[in-house]
Every structure is written in structure tokens, then in C-alpha cells.
Amino acid sequence: MKTYNCIIVDDEELARELIETHLSQLPDFKVVASCDSAIEASVVLKNQKVDLMFLDIEMPVLKGTDFLKNLAHKPKVIFTTAYREYAIESYELNVVDYLLKPIIFTRFFKAIEKFLDTQVQVKEQPKDVVLPDHIFIQSNKRYIKIRFDEVLYIESIKDYIKIHTVEDMTLVKHGLSAFLERLDTRFFRAHRSYIVNVEKVTAFTKQDIEIGKHEIPIGELYKKDVLRVLSS
């Protein structure tokens, strides 16, 4: 299961602690640094792999927006601020989301979901390595064999996933992101709620993917990468 490294940048200690508390409830996210200035954060970013940065805007010495503009290698960013007037500028910087303080967990979780939507995982297959062509997945007290070449697509429904195959459908309790980690290179995320087998795609547009009679929507945040995969 992938772990996402996070950095929190805010001159207010209480604000940093609140974000850390929210992140502690998400097992796939790890805080690698908590910084009280953009200057301190710049040092961390040079020496540490960071997937997601929570960045305050109004900070002394260097504002968050100016800091982000000058970063050569930018992680994904969620702005955290008490000021609504920066919303337009923040979206021009292509950030994941814009959270207004005080940040409640339900709104925070929505921002995390947006971040996860950007994580299209197109894996590279190692050379000269024979990979398994199936997995076993638990359903109630049974372990069911799922052959990769028979899977059409996987659909997420709350805490469950539906594995649609050529012959039938299997419903199991499993997270979609974690399940993608167990699949091989033919599978990719097309939407927050869907994983698709590229070999089963029969047609596609900029809005959806067709697998036989099934139509799978393409998530807006996934669109660029999905179309690149399907057009290659």
C-alpha cells in the first residue's frame, strides 16, 4: 500500500497541529515535516520526497503563493488560509484544493479525496520479471481467484468494490486504491470510483470509456493521464 509523504507549512502552531491531527486519522498519509515558514519548508523539499504539501498563504517573510510560484519541483498542494480573497489566485496555481480555517475534518477529507483523484497510477513493469496473472481476494470466509485477463473493470461503492469480470461480478470489502496496488500494469485509475483494464477498452471519448456495453466515466482530474494512456 502506498504511503503519501506530507509536509505542513504554517506560521501558526495550532493550525499545524490541527492538520497533523486530521492526517493521523488517515493511515496512508505520513507527516514528514511541520514547518513554521516557507524558508524552512524549502530546505525540507530539497532533501525529502514530498507528495502533498499543506501550505498557508499569509506568512511572514515569504507568502505561500509566492513560495509556490518559485518552486522548481512542486508537490501537490492544498492551500490552508483564513482569507477567502486568495481563492482565484490559488486555482490559477493549479492547487488541489483551498481550505478555509478553521478546517473541519469533513472538508479536510474532501480535499484528500481530490488529491487521491490526481494519483493516476500507471505502473512500470520491471524487465525480465515474471509477474503473477491472478490474485486471491477474500469474500466472507472464502478466497476467490481473480484472473487479471478476465477483469473488465473495478467499481468502488463506499467501503466495497465490485470486480466486474467477463463471466460475473464479485463484491468484496476493500479500498479501491489499495486494490490497484495488487494489480498489474494493464490496470489504471480512470475515476475516483473506477479502475479499468486497458486491454478490455473497446472505445472511448473525452468523457467516458466503453468496455462492451459498459460505460465508465472519466474523472476530470484523471482526464489528461487517462487519455494519454488510451491514446498510446
- Domains recognised in the chain with CATH numbers: 4-117 (3.40.50.2300), 134-231 (2.40.50.1020)
Q: Which of 26-40, 87-101, 123-137 has the lowest mean pLDDT?
A: 123-137
pLDDT tens for 52-91 read 999 999 898 898 989 998 888 889 999 998 877 766 666 6
pLDDT over threshold 80, residue 6: yes
pLDDT tens for 147-187 read 999 999 999 998 899 999 998 999 998 888 888 888 888 89
| Residue 39 pLDDT | 93
| Residue 25 pLDDT | 92
| Residue 201 pLDDT | 94
- 60 upstream amide cis, omega within 30 of 0: no
Between CA 226 and CA 229 the distance in angstroms is 5
| Residue 207 pLDDT | 93
| Residue 221 pLDDT | 84
